[in-house]
Amino acid sequence: MNPADEHRLIAAEFTATVEGVAPAAWERPAPPHGWVARDVVRHLVEWFPAFLEGSTGITLPARPSVDDDPGGAWRAHTDAVQALLDDPATADREYDLPHIGRMTLGQAVAMIYTGDVFLHRWDLARATGQDERLDPGRCAEMLAGMLPMDEALRQSGHYGPKVEVADDADVQTKLLAFIGRTP
């Protein structure tokens, strides 16, 4: 699947979860510790635009405030990211990206951002009492890719300590435990 189609699919699943949040549920505690549901959206709509601007000079359009309208903020953000990926002039352009090397914007989005959206959908669903099931094939693929980078991932500060789970746990449970969640 190309980066644009992959993002479209994963972002649509996250959007459906956002749209399923009852207004009062935005303040419910969410993984990771110390966050509320609104912070899951805040994380995604704040870190990626900052990365993009700092690494490529691309500025995403203004969006609603997450505090005032988390759903609107998410929709505006994901639509802007999708527009970049759907435009070959931006998606296929190569950049020299800090810490990850030279690659197209589409490859970078697929490598560092789309997976983040995929994983954080579980956080938002967990916080708001929605369906927490993630695609098992994607879970297996992500876990296989992350296991060899365990030490580097822990040192990045973006993942909590691994949580121990049974050897016969399903792949989603293993992935979530690997990134420091208690499934």
What are the chain's domains?
3-131 (1.20.120), 133-183 (no CATH)
| Per-residue pLDDT tens over the stretch 103-135 | 999 999 999 899 999 999 999 999 999 999 999
pLDDT value at 182 more than 80: yes
pLDDT of residue 99: 77
129: left (phi over 0), alpha (psi -120 to 50) or beta: left
pLDDT of residue 164: 94
pLDDT of residue 151: 86
pLDDT of residue 155: 80
**Helix, strand, or coil here: 129?**
coil
Separation between Cα atoms, residue 161 and residue 130, nearest integer Å: 25
pLDDT of residue 101: 87
Residues ≥6 apart with Cβ < 8 Å to 142: 115, 118, 119, 175
| Per-residue pLDDT tens over the stretch 53-83 | 998 999 999 999 999 999 999 999 999 999 9
| Per-residue pLDDT tens over the stretch 155-169 | 877 788 899 999 999
Q: What percent of the chain has pLDDT over 90?
A: 84
pLDDT of residue 183: 82
Q: Is the pTM of this model over 0.75?
A: yes
3 band by pLDDT with thresholds 50, 70 and 90: very high
